[in-house]
Each structure stands twice: as C-alpha cells, then as structure tokens.
C-alpha cells in the first residue's frame, strides 16, 4: 500500500470507476470527479498527493488544450503537486508540451494496470521527496531565524571587543578559516554566527557541531554520514553534518577535545574537501566555511603532542581571542541590562532597572562562567524579584575561592581555574552532574571528560 492520496479527474464515468476500483487496492485514498471545475473545492478539503488529469472534456475535443489549462491552474495553487496527464489521443508533441509546463508524466488510455501503477508509484515517491525537501527548507528557515534572533548582535563598548569586531568585519566576507579562543561562556558561538551573518554564505545553513558531546564511535557517522547497512541501526542512508552544511558554514565547537585519531580524520576532510560516508567508498565534495572554537590552550597542546600542529595550521588562518567578562569593565552592566529586557519580555515582567548596589556587586564579581553565567543570574533575578528593580539580594552572587577583590588571580593556570570551577559546581549541586553541567554551560559528556581529566 502506497501512503498517498490520488485525485482522478475525467468526464467518463467508466474510466473513473475502473481507475478507482484498481487504484484503491494500492493507495491510501482515491478521489474522483467528472469536471475540473471542482478542483478548487476538492483540493481545499482534501490532502491530495497525485492528480490524474484527463486532457479533453468537451465532446469531440482532442487537442488537449483544456488539460494544459487545468494543469497550469493546479500548479498555480501549489507548484509541488504531482500531475499526470492522460488522453486517448497519443500525440508526442502534446506530451512534450505538457512536461514543459510542469506535468510529471503522461499516460495513454486505455492503460495497462501495471504501467499505470508504476507511473503513479514513481509520482508518489517524487511527491514525498518534495514534501521532505519543503519541510527541511522550513526547518532551515526557522532555525536560521531563531539563531538570528538569539544572536542579534555583539554587545559591549570595551576596547578589546571593539578591536575584535573590526577584525571580524574584515574576515567575515572571506572564506578564511577562523579559530575562536576563550574561556567557557565568553560568546564564542555568538562570534561564530556573526561571522556567518556577515559572510557571502549568510543565506545558507549555519551548522553548529558540539564536538565535546561526540564520542569516538559517533564522530564519523555524525560528521561524515553513513550508508544503509553500515552498522546495525543504519536503516537508511544519512548525510553527515559536513554534507548538510554544504554551501554554508560549519562551526566546530570544543575542537580541543578531539583525540589524535579523530584529529587525523578531520584534517583529511579539511585538506581534501571531500567526505566519505561510513559503508561507502564514494567521495562526496563539500564546500563549507570552517569556524572552530575551544577553551583549551591549543598552542600548548601542540608542544605536548596532544594536538596536531598541521590541524592547528589548517583551522586558524585567523585567530580571535575573546576576553573574559571580568576584564571588560562596564560591559557587565550593558549585558545585564540587555538580559533584563530579554527576560522582562519572556516572563511578562516589568522590572525597571538594576539597583546601584546590585550594579556594584555585578562589577566586583569575577564571573568564572562569563557571559553565560551573567545571563543565568539575570534570568533568575528577573523571575525571583517581587519589585520593579533588581537588588543585590536578587542576584544571589556568592564569593569565590579564586577571586581577590573581584579580579581573578593572574598567576593561576587555566587548568587550575577550570578544575576549581568544575569542583565548585559539583560540590554546590551535591554531585548532580546534570545541574553542574548546566551551570558550567557544558554538556554532561563534556563535564564527565573534565572530571576524568582532573581526577575528581
């Protein structure tokens, strides 16, 4: 049984009856009508996939002009309808004209049932394929719209940020590979999307891939795709992230977490600009703009032979180092006020402003989780406050072991700071990994790797 609905339009009752009796055995629903003037009503009331349309309705007519007229009419309603024309008068020129106007196929009456079924089955597959493409286009448009709203613009007046934005505007229109470095929560994904938004690929897909959440077994299948039967659960062909991002931008987040074997596989794809799906030998060309990001010290990792130097050269044609929030001065207040408005709207609140004492607290806090932590703090404050202003108590900020007068100790190694942050979050949430990971802005898998790394 083919899961498609067919509408048959013919002025001959015998044709309609024989077609319906045969086709209802093979298709989900078969509708019939004698006049094409009923098309609008039938299409508005029914979900129709295929239309089998006669070409002549006036007595003695054989030129097919009526069929071509109604073909145009149907496709003006929805260009994705699959229309198959039929006539008792075989005419090659007419068939060619019909195909040029958008008909999917052409059958002659009287038909052979097997041939009619084969033609309609092919049409049904085409219709389902078109519907899938349309759905994916809607999802793509929706995702890109959501991203555009989420990352409306980079907020801040700090001189470091201004220099970074100047660099961003220079590099965005090119296809240069960009590496974005910075602590967790500093806005690496926001910068990546800004680069895409100002590039020549801005109308294409922006594909975010969290490499920190992919284990060794999923890496190839997720990034490069797989063929049906490549492994136990591979029930159909599936393109990987690189193929889906073809023509657009692929953002490889947490690239520093890749093992050396996975680094080698990624390097091969970046060098050759081709992917091979698991279970296939066919190479598929991909055209993507590459942006990578990590909070890990890649240059130090190269010296320790834990990150490939040739891969680093490949991904960092241009390198952006995002400053931590604690070094951006009054940008903390600008961002806090931005988030205040965002969550006022989201939660239908009318909080006017941030109290003076609360602003001082925001400026003196070290922000180990950077902008992401500030966002969470402001969301919670807007939800919890009973008044029209955010007070210091609403912020619920607590002193940190590694902060001195609101400034992070500069002689502390990045690994030590990260270890303290992870340990503090786990202690705070009494070993609840999901909550600790959410506070740190990490996936559960990424947090588990850090626990193992630091021996916690």
Per-residue pLDDT of 202-251, as tens digits, reads: 989 999 999 988 878 889 899 999 888 888 888 888 889 999 999 999 99
The domain segmentation of the chain, as residue ranges, is: 2-132, 151-321, 325-406, 411-456
Q: Compute the CA torsion angle 445, 448, 454, 456 (nearest 10 deg).
A: 170
Burial track 73-111 (b if 16+ CB lie within 10 A, e otherwise): ebbeeeeebbbbbbbeeebeebbeebeeebbbbbbebeb
Average pLDDT of every residue of the chain: 85
What is the C-alpha separation between 317 and 171, in angstroms, rounded? 10
Residue with tokens 């609140």: 349
Work out the pLDDT band at 404, boundaries 50, 70, 90: very low
Residue of higher predicted confidence among 182 and 412: 182
Residues 6+ apart with CB under 8 A from 194: 151, 153, 154, 168, 172
Half-sphere exposure of 306 (CA within 13 A, CB side): 11
The architecture CATH gives domain 2-132: 3-Layer(aba) Sandwich (3.40)
Work out the pLDDT band at 412, boundaries 50, 70, 90: very low
**Domains 2-132 and 151-321 agree in fold:** yes
What is the C-alpha separation between 261 and 252, in angstroms, rounded? 17
Give this prediction's pTM: 0.60
Query: What residues form DSSP beta bridges with 274?
Result: 285
What pLDDT is recorded for position 357? 94
Give the best-scoring range by mean pLDDT among 33-37, 56-60, 227-231, 246-250: 246-250
411-456 placed in CATH 3.40.50.12160 = no
Task: State which CATH number among 3.40.50.300, 3.20.20.70, 3.40.50.2300, 1.10.630.10 fits the domain covering 151-321.
Answer: 3.40.50.300
| Residues 106, 86 contacting (CB under 8 angstroms) | yes
325-406 placed in CATH 3.40.50.300 = no
Q: Which of 332, 334, 335, 301 is nearest to 315 (CA)?
A: 301
What is the C-alpha separation between 272 and 404, in angstroms, rounded? 49
Q: What are 355's two structure tokens? A: 């109290």
């Amino acid at each position: 049984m083919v899961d498609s609905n067919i509408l048959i339009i013919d002025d001959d009752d015998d044709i309609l009856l024989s077609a319906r009796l045969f086709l209802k055995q093979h298709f989900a629903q078969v509708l019939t009508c004698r006049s094409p003037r009923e098309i609008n009503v039938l299409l508005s009331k029914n979900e129709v996939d295929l239309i089998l349309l006669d070409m002549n309705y006036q007595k003695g007519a054989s030129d097919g002009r009526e069929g071509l007229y109604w073909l145009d009419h149907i496709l003006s309603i929805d260009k994705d309808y699959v229309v198959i024309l039929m006539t008792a008068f075989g005419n090659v020129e007419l068939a060619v004209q019909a195909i040029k106007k958008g008909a999917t196929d052409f059958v002659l009456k009287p038909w052979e049932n097997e041939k009619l079924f084969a033609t309609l089955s092919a049409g049904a597959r085409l219709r389902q394929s078109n519907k899938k493409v349309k759905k994916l286009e809607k999802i793509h448009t929706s995702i890109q719209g959501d991203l555009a709203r989420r990352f409306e613009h980079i907020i801040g007046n700090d001189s470091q940020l201004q220099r970074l934005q100047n660099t961003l505007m220079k590099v965005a229109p090119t296809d240069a590979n960009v590496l974005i470095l910075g602590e967790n929560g500093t806005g690496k994904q926001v910068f990546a999307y800004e680069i895409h938004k100002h590039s020549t690929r801005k109308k294409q897909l922006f594909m975010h891939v969290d490499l920190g959440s992919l284990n060794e077994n999923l890496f190839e299948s997720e990034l490069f795709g797989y063929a049906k039967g490549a492994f136990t659960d591979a029930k159909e062909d599936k393109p990987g992230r690189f193929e889906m991002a073809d023509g657009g931008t692929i953002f490889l987040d947490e690239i520093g977490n890749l093992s050396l074997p996975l680094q080698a596989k990624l390097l091969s794809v970046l060098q050759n600009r081709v992917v091979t799906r698991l279970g296939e030998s066919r190479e598929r060309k991909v055209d993507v703009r590459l942006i990578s990001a990590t909070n890990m010290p890649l240059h130090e990792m190269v010296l320790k032979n834990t990150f490939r130097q040739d891969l680093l050269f490949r991904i960092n044609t241009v390198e952006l180092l995002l400053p931590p929030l604690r070094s951006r001065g009054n940008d903390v207040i600008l961002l806090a006020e931005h988030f205040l408005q965002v969550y006022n709207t989201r939660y239908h609140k009318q909080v006017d402003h941030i109290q003076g004492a609360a602003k001082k607290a925001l400026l003196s806090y070290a922000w180990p989780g950077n902008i992401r932590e500030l966002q969470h703090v402001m969301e919670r404050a807007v939800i919890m406050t009973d008044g029209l202003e955010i007070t210091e108590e609403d912020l619920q900020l607590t002193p940190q072991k590694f902060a001195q007068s609101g400034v992070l100790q500069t002689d502390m190694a990045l690994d030590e700071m990260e270890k303290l942050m992870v340990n503090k979050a786990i202690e705070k949430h009494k070993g609840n990994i999901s909550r600790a990971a959410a506070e740190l802005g990490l996936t559960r898998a990424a947090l588990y790797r850090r626990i193992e790394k630091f021996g916690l």
